[in-house]
Amino acid sequence: MYAQMIKSEASQDDPEKLAAFQARIDRGEKIEPKDWMPEGYRKTLIRQIGQHAHSEIVGQLPEGNWVTRAPTLERKAILLAKVQDEAGHGLYLYCAAETLGISRDEMTEMLLDGRMKYSSIFNYPTLTWADMGAVGWLVDGAAIMNQVPLQRTSYGPYARAMVRICKEESFHQRQGFDVMMKMCQGSEAQKRMAQDALNRFWFPSLMMFGPSDKDSKHSAQSMKWRIKMNTNDELRQKFVDQTVPQAEYLGLTVPDPDLTWNEETGHYDFTEPDWAEFMEVLAGNGPCNRDRMEARNRAWDEGAWVREGLMAHATKQRAVSVAAE
Partner in contact with 89, chosen from other proteins, Fe ion, none, beta carbon below 5 to 8 Å by kind: Fe ion
Work out whether 32 is an interface residue with other proteins (CB under 8 A): yes
Distance, in Å, from the CA atom of 116 to the CA atom of 47, rounded to the nearest integer, reads: 7
Does position 17 bind other proteins by CB under 8 A? no
Give burial (CB, 10 Å; 0-12/13-18/19+) of 315: exposed
* Out of 42, 75, 117, 172, the residue judged to bind Fe ion by CB under 5 A: 172
Site string for other proteins, 193-232 (x = CB under 8 A): ----------------------------------------
Q: How far apart are CA 94 and CA 88, in angstroms?
A: 10
Per partner kind, with CB cut-offs from 5 to 8 A, the member of Fe ion, other proteins, none near residue 20 is: none
Q: Is residue 103 within the footprint of other proteins (CB under 8 A)?
A: yes
Q: How far is the CB of 223 from other proteins (least distance, A)?
A: 25
Residue 265 DSSP one-character state: T
CA dihedral 67, 290, 2, 190 (to 10 degrees): 40
Cα gap 61→238, rounded to integer Å: 27
- Position 83 contacts other proteins (CB under 8 A): no
Q: Which of 46, 61, 48, 91 is nearest to 299 (CA)?
A: 61
- Site map (CB under 5 A) of Fe ion, residues 106-145, x = contact: ----------------------------------x-----
- Can you tell me the distance from the alpha carbon of 54 to that of 104, in angstroms, rounded to the nearest whole number? 10
| Least distance to other proteins, CB of residue 311, Å | 5
Smallest distance from Fe ion to CB 305, Å: 29
d(Cα 175, Cα 245) in Å, to the nearest integer? Answer: 18
Binding partner of residue 307 among Fe ion, other proteins, none, CB under 5 to 8 Å per kind?
other proteins
